[in-house]
Amino acid sequence: MIPAFEYTIPVLVIGGGACGCIAALSAHDAGAQVLLVEQDERPMGSTGMSQGLICAAGTKAQAALGIEDSADRYFEDIMAKTKGLTDPVLARAIADHAGPTIDWMVEAHDLPWELDTGFRPVYGNSTFRVHGWRGHGGQDMVDLLHARMADAGIDVLLGAKLVEVHADETGRIHGVTLQRPDGAQELVGCETLILACGGFAANHAMVAQHMPDVAHARNNGHEGSQGTGIFVGQQLGAGLGDMSAYQGYAMLTEPHGIPVPPGVPVEGGVLVNIEGNRFTNEVEDIAGMVHPVLAQPGDHVWVVFDQRIEAVTDYIPEMQQLIALNAAKKADTPEELAALIGVPADMLAATLAQAHTAQASGQPDAQGRLWGDDKPPVAPLRAVKVVGAIFHTQGGLQIDGTARVLREDGKPLPNLFAGGGAARSVSGPAHWGYLPAMGLATAVTFGRLAGLNAAALAQHAVDA
């Protein structure tokens, strides 16, 4: 039985991270009245714990710097990275719409995203296409998006949790029940519903069920990522996709809990274990590198870099935080560093020497890394202690290229949309398909598509 609602909103968005905010802004731009609901008193989510970087192709920011890129090239990179195992419809939607989404963010809402030329083409991207707000991270992004929603007059309800969705026998959603921290509930009707409420990385039972290979890994995602949107969709008969996919990360500093930026290994940093040995190609798989890290003896490894690498990456907020905390061990020689981090001095010296020999020879080293013009660390050296972690999941509700949620038989639910962590992404069935900055690329792209299409559907309902 459908209850009586206190009021009805054309577009209701659940989740106040990047996906939800972009969905709300785009629906508002399309002329719809929007209400965004966020369970935390201060919005954060997975976006707030990220670097705020977005992977997009064919942007005006790329063109301004003479970077040639296209949706077709982006699509090819996605399919290659996922070994052809991702959903090609969703991959095509990301390839076609991520670039225009970035341009719309910049031009329509004065969001200062630009091409990050410090994030070089690596880990599956064939050219420079990672965009960010220089000197700012994910929480800055969340705060700015909420400021832009306030500027637009979009209604935002904080500290309210989705506890029930009310739908009829056709699967059409008529409204939701929201609950406040004090237990008080309110009934809100809606013409359309957008689920942008995160993945399930903090739900230990779901991680163990769908991703047992990282069930023992530390979760560095938001504690609110409990799979709420996935549960809601399943109750309505939605299909799921790629539930075993996730972004792992091999370089979460211990005990600080701050990620070492990918630019550190890209610029020449190396990972060594407690025996002083390298054990992986540091520039091959940004997400999958968590597995060789978790497989090493002891409970941690070390990222070794030098002053040059630190200087090249010190524009990144996470590196700035690590520098401010004096997190790195510092030494003038490999032997001194080995003593500080508790690894055999002869092995660490030999490991670094082998990397330099490989770089000079122009041949791949024992881990398969081809150094090219990149330089391994030289004294004086730095090292930070890191552990492997899971950052966010990449599987979820099956959606189509318009962000509409699909039933198990492939037919769309009447008025349900999803994006971000609640929806299936384009990373394929496992960790190895993740492209850098793809998490936020799917969040903002499917967020915008969801907002535009939900607004159109809501208007159609009114006209009818």
End-to-end CA separation in angstroms for the chain: 23
**C-alpha–C-alpha distance, residues 287 and 289, integer Å:** 6
| Of residues 32 and 461, more confidently modeled | 32
How many alpha carbons fall within 13 Å on the CB side of residue 119? Answer: 27
What are 295-304's pLDDT values in tens digits?
A: 999 989 999 9
Name the pairing type of β-strands 412-418 and 114-115: unpaired
Using an 8 Å Cβ cutoff, are 46 and 438 in contact? no
Statement: residue 77 has pLDDT above 80 = yes
User: Quick one: which of 234, 252, 256 has its CA closest to 243?
Assistant: 234
Phi/psi class of residue 262: alpha, beta or left (left: φ > 0; alpha: ψ in -120 to 50)?
alpha
pLDDT at 132: 97
Two structure tokens written together for 223: 């504690």
Using an 8 Å Cβ cutoff, are 233 and 193 in contact? no
- Does residue 212 have a cis peptide bond before it, meaning omega lies within 30 degrees of 0? no
User: Quick one: which of 332, 312, 346 has its CA closest to 383?
Assistant: 332
Which residues fall within 8 angstroms of residue 381, CB to CB, at 6 or more apart?
Answer: 304, 305, 306, 330, 331, 332, 333, 334, 337
Name the pairing type of β-strands 381-393 and 218-219: parallel
pLDDT at 343: 98
DSSP 412-445: EEEEEEE-GGGB--SSTTSGGGPPTTHHHHHHHH
Statement: residue 462 has pLDDT above 70 = no
Statement: residue 191 has pLDDT above 70 = yes
pLDDT at 218: 85
Domain boundaries, the chain: 7-245+394-463, 249-390
Q: Which CATH class is domain 249-390?
A: alpha beta
Whose tokens are 């970087």? That residue is 53
Mean predicted confidence (pLDDT) in 426-442: 95
Element (H, E) at 143: helix 138-152
Statement: residue 1 has pLDDT above 90 = no
Mean predicted confidence (pLDDT) in 122-147: 96
DSSP lists the bridge partners of residue 38 as 158
Two structure tokens written together for 425: 């992404």
Element (H, E) at 380: none
| Of residues 77 and 198, more confidently modeled | 77
What are 144-188's pLDDT values in tens digits?
A: 999 999 999 999 999 999 999 999 999 999 999 999 999 999 999
**pTM for this structure?**
0.94
Element (H, E) at 386: strand 381-393
Using an 8 Å Cβ cutoff, are 451 and 116 in contact? no
CA distances from 323 to 204, 219, 313 (A): 33, 24, 11
Two structure tokens written together for 320: 């700035």
pLDDT at 266: 96
Q: Is residue 277 packed enough to be buried (19+ CB in 10 Å), middle (13-18) or exposed (0-12)?
A: buried
Does domain 7-245+394-463 fall into CATH 3.40.50.300?
Answer: no
**Other CB atoms within 10 Å distance of the CB of residue 174:** 18
User: Quick one: which of 388, 88, 415, 107 has its CA closest to 246?
Assistant: 388
